[in-house]
Chain A
């Protein structure tokens, strides 16, 4: 098999590290399958949300009453920007021998992700301040569960990045760290994909009620 080909999703390192590239194939594929499984989990939360946002109001607020489009817009911008900066980090990972550019873009990504989580927490606090907590209705339960799960994913991605950080200096772990960042990239971009669905059906469509 020629190692020149793309073998897995995400950025492929065939041009710069052919040996690690071949080893990456099954590992990346495994992570890709995990992401698909995770995607099913999110769609079920979304389907639950779809049903609950109609049937589960129970006298509580409707989607339209809790939707803050400005906040959703800022959050979307933050996540889109972070996906772009992670793409730049991936390119740096692939082509640059020193880790300066890689580290720079990872830090930017991390900060954007942290800002995203901060915005979401602000949303939650605002809602809770108005008494709109998950214990009020089936709809709010679904709302918090869906957004909370996504937020937990983003948070764990950030923790993952932090955990990788000290390992980047260890020569013994060089190849492994490289493959880990490649997987983290897939994870990050996938969370962006999930967010697209959430922003569409929860916020944009929710605002119309």
Chain B
């Protein structure tokens, strides 16, 4: 042990770029160049101060929500490129010209899975809930705004740890589930698995805290009259997801902490010898992993409920049954984890019981599908891009669900376990189910967030590319799996696979084109923002309270907290009352938490700590850990500083909005995408 170890741990010059192969070097330079480009743009446009004051230090739930979504979008780009690379590799290798080596392929599927789950879908969900949920329940913020910001920056730090692995050293090759003994020191020495462990730890802490925050807000901050059974369905799914986050993250924390103890301190939880038991890891990991699947899908169900009901111009069919189904799915999700390791060697009885429990989940899920179909039945359907995505979802999700019921039979699972059939199954659930919901939710709520609609034509093009791309990319994988192709294999050498792999490659290309179309849509919409503006804030004739505010909403959300008398509060207001009539009596000073830079600094310290632990740089790990807690203590001395929005400002802002509402012409539902739509809906009577 020399001084370099004390100072730099196991980090050496050779861990830095250039990398041995071209693709890795290119990826590393992207990770370096992207922040530099952002920094240059900020400097040239003189926006450093703006981004610090308006965004990074903000405790406003709406801005935090947007930042979550930006993080998710950036990570989505990376994960999709990786997916494209993996498809290219398998297709090309099968015809004799591999693109990358097996180790690199291993890194790709590990980062792809880790990123898609922890740094795309989870932040996107947190972002949507953050933005929408307080508006829907008529609250001014989450219960713990500071904690909310800290969660965001811890999650971002985790994402940056995964990105750092592109530049410095390597990532794990153990897949997103990181099964030992492969991920133990004996088989995976080096920094890869460490990166994975600490990235998950950071985001795990952030997610648990976020879950707590959402749950308390939903329980304690609802507007008067907003009983639980009057909440929009999105809020119900947010509540269920938060409860899953609160109870399902501890098993992950325990599993990764034990793996870390094994790797760092020579413990024997999951090692091959000395009483270690790798089955225990599988058990703990899936105690988390299965509820996690529902963390990902339940808010998506919430988005679908909102989108389908709004664009069908109808009340949500079977509200109560949807709530009950949501809760049932949440509870059942804790009873099925064993179906991820049917082949591990327990007796047939155990497998049978967990198999049956798994099939039971099909029942509440089926209830939901029928409720959505019946919501559309005889509705005034407008095939806007979000609804197009919803239709793809309804068809594809049922297919994915059916393959899930197949896999719930242990004997079938024995035959196709770990094959591409499984890969096809869960992508079939998560792409149409979750990812499409996130895109639909993005297009649906975008006008509320930024004040203008997204271009419909490019949205439709994107829908076509995503849907077609998904079908082409994953339907062949079902066939390949049944033909015997195993997952996580860097190359096959079976000419029979070639046509399927080529079609899948084409599908991946289409999906990437779909992603590009989303980019174009955003670009085009920003350029046309005057034409697409919806300042009154209700472009789709929305049903819930988030639409009863200007677009974008002010920091304080509502000038006065609304009184709620039933479900679909805003519909009721538009039907029975006059939502845009000023109420001159009711303005008061509004206090909201003041901006603070501490959460960002906590995130930075968290990143440094995780990086130092990854490379065994002990002094730095200790320093940054102490710094993190010192920042918390510092905050505790500040006594929660607030900023006040004077009543006069609130009055002025609100009256301007109401003035615009009175001046605007209401549009009917089929002129929704015409420039005439300024965000004032002509309600269906």
Contact = CB atoms under 8 A, between A and B. Distances in A.
Interface of A: 25-27, 29-30, 33-34, 36-38, 40-41, 44-45, 48, 51-52, 55-58, 60, 134-139, 141-142, 144-145, 163, 167, 172-173, 176, 180
A37 B251 CA distance: 10
Given A29-B220, A33-B246, A55-B275, A141 B143 contact: no
A141 B208 contact: no
Nearest to B243: A33
Given A33-B212, A33-B246, A40-B247, A135 B266 contact: yes
Interface size class of B (residues with CB under 8 A): 35 or more
Contact of B276 (A44, A138, A180): A138
A36 B266 CA distance: 30
B585 to A, nearest CB: 24
Given A58-B268, A145-B261, A44 B254 contact: yes
Contacts of A37: 208, 212, 246-247, 249-250
B261 A141 contact: yes
A135 B219 CA distance: 45
Contact of B268 (A38, A51, A56, A163): A56
B265 A134 contact: yes
Interface in B263-277: 265-269, 271, 273-277
B275 A137 contact: yes
Given A26-B216, A57-B275, A134-B268, 9 more contacts: A26-B143, A33-B215, A41-B254, A44-B251, A44-B254, A56-B275, A141-B261, A144-B267, A145-B261
Contacts of B251: 40, 44
Nearest to B269: A141
Interface of B: 143-144, 208, 212-213, 215-217, 219-221, 246-247, 249-251, 253-254, 257-258, 261-262, 265-269, 271, 273-277, 280, 284, 287, 633, 636-637, 639-640
A51 B280 contact: yes
B633 A163 contact: yes
28 contacts: A26-B143, A30-B213, A34-B212, A38-B250, A40-B247, A41-B250, A41-B254, A44-B251, A48-B254, A48-B280, A48-B284, A52-B269, A56-B276, A58-B268, A58-B274, A60-B275, A134-B266, A135-B265, A135-B267, A136-B274, A138-B274, A138-B276, A141-B275, A145-B257, A145-B267, A163-B636, A172-B639, A176-B640
B219 to A, nearest CB: 7
Contact of B267 (A29, A58, A134): A134
A141 B633 contact: no
Contacts of B640: 176
3 nearest A-B residue pairs (beta carbon): A138-B275, A58-B275, A56-B275
Contacts of A26: 143, 216-217, 219-221
A135 B268 contact: yes
Contacts of B221: 26
B143 to A, nearest CB: 5
A139 B276 CA distance: 8
A167 to B, nearest CB: 7
A52 B212 CA distance: 31
A30 B143 contact: yes
A30 B212 contact: yes
Contacts of B284: 44, 48
A52 B219 CA distance: 39
A136 B251 CA distance: 24
Nearest to B257: A145
Nearest to B288: A44
A66 to B, nearest CB: 14
A136 B267 CA distance: 8
Nearest to A166: B637
A41 B284 CA distance: 11
Contact of A44 (B208, B287, B639): B287
Given A141-B268, A141-B269, A29 B216 contact: yes
B144 A138 contact: no
B549 to A, nearest CB: 23
A139 B274 CA distance: 9
Nearest to B220: A26
Contacts of B253: 41
B216 A30 contact: yes
